[in-house]
């Protein structure tokens, strides 16, 4: 049995109750087979894959906080520091009731290769809590964030581990967490990214993931002889990534027909109106049911369903495994040309295969949504030199990084005889740098 298969078999037994983690690991290890085979005996002797798939450390802690009625509540906090071979741990904090160790480990594992692909010196980590921010007052959010940081501060620092936002964690939560860190440590340092502009944040970080997704999509389509202007797109989600993906897509001349949240979805034949979406989601923090009030020509539907609409491009921007095999069949039947993943692992493994087998270009999350963490790294640079760059400066660096990522994954896919398999290309290109750094640093 090959070293890759042996490792996968051991992990499947050891972590049988961590399906998302196993899904992420299986995809990466499957892709890097040709690289491992080049030096299999040595890598096996050095337990390379065991060291790659076992996090450096996993911190799990209690987070007590006080609700609006004065009652104490308790949630579970997580930080998985997966791999710091190429730089300090870096990755977001997810606040969602579905959070568990499997989800945080899958996200942390993906982050290693994503961060490597950015070309910037950042390692992989992820954290969060099963706390549900929905329906909470600002004071409840503050109480949770302060208590979360009261434990997390022990493990993070500007040169150690730099968390950021993810689902349920935006500028408000980062602000409360930063305030608490500063109070405990008396240290105003770049320990978190996604900070407000008045206290160390970077221009364009808010837009970065969505904008970056479109920069990469544009480059991928261009290199396949397809012009993006005039195309239609489907977006799922209506959070940070989705909003700025829709904004940049619209600027590029793409008409975005849909968006969604966890209760329903919107179809707007005139193109989703970003200003309306920002008002509902960023200002009022309300449900998508409100959208029709502003845009009477649109339709609102309960449940899920964006992938049944006919369009050229699909941009899943909500959460993991939100695009399944049935959705993939609908996309193919409707002539979809490309899927670019704004969310982390939004496409199930069988759907990825189906899309690729049917000639749909698929830009995987670790490449397509790397603009967020890349711009976080640019925020770290600005914090270190105590300067702020202009929006245009950050945005043009972001664009350069995304174009580079596309070519690196494209080249890696070609080098190993898998032309247009960007999933394999991204995994291989991301892995090669980590492999090099891990090898240079010895067995640790
Ligand atoms: P937000 O919390 O801002 O938005 C998440 C959106 O997805 C909301 O519309 C939410 O709906 C929907 N959603 C979340 N969970 C579910 C679910 N289980 N079922 C259906 N809908 C759901 O998060 P982000 O936009 O920041 O993150 C979206 C995705 O992008 C995640 O996969 C994240 O890991 C990834 N990502 C984020 C980056 C960032 O910089 N923020 C960077 C790279 C990747 P509702 O509000 O109703 O819950
Ligand atoms: O999944 C991700 O890349 C993020 N949530 C962003 C992480 C970061 O450190 O900016």
In tens, the pLDDT along 15-47 reads 999 999 999 999 999 999 999 999 999 999 999
List the helix and strand counts (H, then E) for the chain: 18, 12
Within the chain, what is the greatest distance between any pair of CA atoms? 64
Of the candidates 194, 293, 301, 204, which has an alpha carbon nearest to the alpha carbon of residue 247? Answer: 204
Q: Which of 202, 262, 266, 288 to mutate to test the pocket of ligand 1 (most atoms within 8 A of CB)?
A: 262
Q: Please indicate, yes or no, whether the overall pTM of this predicted structure exceeds 0.75.
A: yes
User: How far apart are alpha carbons 57 and 113 in whole angstroms?
Assistant: 18
DSSP-derived pairing of the beta strands 72-83 and 57-66: antiparallel
Structure letter (DSSP) for residue 76: E
Residue nearest to atom 10 of ligand 2 (CA): 373
What would the DSSP string read from start to end of 211-261? HHHHHHHHHHHHHTT---TT-EEEEE--SHHHHHHHHHHHHTTPEEEEEE-
E strand spans, 84-205? 89-95, 123-129, 161-164
Instruction: Determine whether 126 is an active site residue.
Output: yes
For the CA atoms of the chain, what is the radius of gyration? 21
pLDDT under 50 in the chain at which residues? none
Q: Is 344 in the pocket of ligand 2 (CB under 6 A)?
A: yes
Among 90, 114, 126, 248, the active-site one is 126
Residue nearest to atom 8 of ligand 2 (CA): 373
Q: How far is CA 385 from the centre of its chain?
A: 27
* Closest atom, ligand 2, to C-alpha of 369: 3
Strand partners of residue 236: 316
Q: Is 364 in the pocket of ligand 1 (CB under 6 A)?
A: no
Alpha-carbon torsion 240, 242, 247, 252, what sign?
positive
Å from CA of 439 to ligand 1 middle: 35
Of the candidates 120, 126, 173, 155, which has an alpha carbon nearest to the alpha carbon of residue 24? Answer: 126
Strand partners of residue 123: 89
Q: Which of 195, 235, 240 to mutate to test the pocket of ligand 1 (most atoms within 8 A of CB)?
A: 240
Alpha helices in 15-137 (DSSP H): 19-31, 33-37, 40-45, 48-53, 101-117
Å from CA of 166 to ligand 1 middle: 7
Q: Is 236 in the pocket of ligand 1 (CB under 6 A)?
A: no
Å from CA of 130 to ligand 1 middle: 14
Helix axes 391-415, 370-385, angle to 10 degrees: 130
> How much is the pLDDT for 124?
98
The token duo for 136 is 């909470």
* Closest atom, ligand 2, to C-alpha of 205: 10
User: How far apart are alpha carbons 230 and 77 in whole angstroms?
Assistant: 45
Q: Is 92 in the pocket of ligand 2 (CB under 6 A)?
A: yes
Å from CA of 330 to ligand 1 middle: 23
User: How far apart are alpha carbons 37 and 42 in whole angstroms?
Assistant: 10
> How much is the pLDDT for 163?
99
Å from CA of 370 to ligand 2 middle: 8
* C-beta separation of 202 from 127 below 8 A: no
Q: Is 239 in the pocket of ligand 2 (CB under 6 A)?
A: no
* φ, ψ for residue 153, nearest 5 deg: -55, -25
Å from CA of 379 to ligand 2 middle: 12
Q: Is 77 in the pocket of ligand 1 (CB under 6 A)?
A: no
E strand spans, 243-386? 255-260, 264-267, 299-302, 313-316, 338-340, 361-363
* Closest ligand, as measured to the CA of 108: 2
In tens, the pLDDT along 219-235 reads 999 999 999 999 999 99
The SS3 of residue 144 is helix
């Amino acid at each position: 049995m090959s070293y890759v298969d042996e490792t996968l078999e051991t992990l499947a037994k050891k972590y049988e109750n961590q399906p998302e983690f196993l899904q992420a690991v299986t995809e990466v290890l499957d892709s890097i087979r040709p690289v491992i085979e080049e030096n299999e005996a040595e890598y096996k002797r050095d337990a390379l894959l065991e060291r790659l798939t076992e996090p450096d450390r996993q911190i799990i802690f209690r987070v007590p906080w006080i609700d609006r009625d004065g009652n104490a509540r308790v949630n579970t906090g997580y930080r998985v520091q997966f791999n710091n071979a190429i730089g300090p741990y870096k990755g977001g904090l997810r606040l969602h009731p579905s959070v568990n160790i499997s989800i945080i480990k899958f996200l942390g594992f993906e982050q290693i290769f994503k961060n490597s692909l950015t070309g910037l010196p950042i390692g992989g980590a992820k954290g969060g809590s099963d706390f549900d921010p929905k329906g909470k007052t600002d004071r409840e959010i503050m109480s949770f964030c302060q208590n979360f940081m009261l434990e997390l501060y022990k493990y993070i620092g500007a040169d150690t581990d730099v968390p950021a936002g993810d689902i349920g964690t935006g500028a408000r939560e980062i602000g409360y967490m930063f305030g608490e860190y500063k109070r405990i440590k008396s240290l105003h340092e770049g320990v978190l990214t996604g900070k407000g502009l008045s206290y160390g944040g970077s221009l364009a970080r808010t837009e970065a993931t969505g904008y970056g997704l479109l920069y990469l999509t544009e480059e991928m389509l261009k290199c396949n002889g397809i012009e993006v202007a005039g195309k239609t797109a489907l977006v799922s989600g209506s959070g940070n990534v989705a909003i700025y993906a829709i904004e940049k897509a619209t600027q590029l001349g793409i008409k975005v027909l849909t968006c969604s949240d966890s209760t329903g979805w919107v179809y707007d034949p005139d193109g989703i109106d970003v200003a309306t979406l920002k008002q509902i989601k960023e200002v009022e923090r309300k449900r998508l049911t409100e959208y029709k009030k502003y845009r009477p020509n649109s339709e609102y539907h309960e449940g899920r369903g964006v992938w049944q609409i006919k369009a050229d491009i699909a941009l899943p921007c909500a959460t993991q495994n939100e695009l399944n095999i049935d959705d993939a069949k609908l996309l193919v039947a409707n002539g979809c040309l490309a899927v670019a993943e704004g969310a982390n692992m939004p496409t199930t493994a069988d759907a990825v295969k189906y899309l690729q087998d049917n000639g749909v270009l698929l830009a995987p999350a670790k490449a397509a949504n790397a603009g967020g963490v890349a711009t976080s790294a640019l925020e770290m640079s600005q914090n270190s030199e105590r300067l702020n760059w202009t929006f245009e400066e950050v945005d043009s660096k972001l664009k350069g990084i995304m174009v580079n990522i596309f070519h690196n994954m494209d080249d890696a896919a070609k080098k190993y005889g898998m032309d247009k398999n960007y999933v394999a290309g991204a995994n291989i290109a991301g892995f090669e740098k980590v492999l090099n750094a891990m090898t240079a640093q010895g067995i640790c």
